[in-house]
Amino acid sequence: MVWFTLFSIPYVLSYGLEEEINRVISRFWIPLFFYAILFYTNYFVLIDRFLFKNQTIKYILINGVIIMVFLTLKSQIDTLFFTDIIRKSSSNTSVGPPFKMIIYVQMLSYLAPVLFSAAIKTTKRLIKTEAQRKEATNFKLESELQHLHYQLQPHFFFNSLNNIYSMVDISPEQAKKSIHSLSKLMRYMLYETNMDLVPLSKEIDFIKKYIDLMKLRVSDKTEVSYNFPEEETGIKIAPLLFISLIENAFKHGVSATKESYINISMTSNEKTVQFAIENDNFPKKTDDKSGSGIGLQNLEKRLELLYPNKHSFNTSVKDNNFLIDLKIETA
Contact between residue 282 and residue 255 where contact means Cβ atoms under 8 Å apart: yes
Phi, psi angle pair for 276, to nearest 5°: -140, 145
SS3 227: strand
Q: Return the exposure string of 95-106: e unless at least 16 CB atoms fall within 10 Å of the residue's CB, then b.
A: eeeeeeeeeeeb
- Give pLDDT tens digits for 287-299: 554 444 556 777 8
CA dist., res. 124 & res. 126, Å (int): 5
Helix (H, G, I), strand (E, B) or coil at 222: strand
pTM, two decimals, is 0.55
Banded pLDDT at 127 (limits 50, 70, 90): very high
Q: Where are the alpha helices (DSSP H) in 30-98?
A: 30-41, 47-49, 56-81, 83-92
Give dist(CA 300, CA 304) in Å, integer: 6
Q: How far apart are CA 196 and CA 238, in angstroms?
A: 6
* The pLDDT of residue 95: 47
Q: Which of 86-90, 200-204, 298-302 has the lowest mean pLDDT?
A: 86-90
Where does residue 110 rank: exposed (0-12), middle (13-18), buried (19+ CB within 10 A)?
buried
Q: How confident is the model at residue 146 (pLDDT cuts 50, 70, 90)?
A: low
pLDDT for 80 equals 76
What is the tens place of the pLDDT at every residue in 39-64?
A: 999 999 999 999 998 999 999 999 99
Q: Which range among 6-10, 124-128, 157-161 has the greatest average pLDDT?
A: 124-128
Picking from 138, 125, 92, 118, the residue whose alpha carbon sits closest to that of residue 40 is: 118
Which position has the higher pLDDT, 38 or 23? Answer: 38
State the average pLDDT for the chain: 80
Task: Determine how β-strand 311-318 pairs with β-strand 236-237.
Answer: unpaired
CATH topology of domain 153-329: Heat Shock Protein 90 (3.30.565)
Residue-wise pLDDT tens digits, 74-111: 888 877 776 665 555 555 544 444 545 556 667 788 89
Find out whether 316 and 306 touch, Cβ atoms under 8 Å.
Answer: no
Residue 140: which pLDDT band, with cuts at 50, 70 and 90? low
**Tens digits of residue pLDDT in 209-239:** 888 888 877 778 889 999 999 888 789 998 8
Domain map (residue ranges) of the chain: 2-96, 153-329
Which pLDDT does position 263 carry in this prediction?
Answer: 94
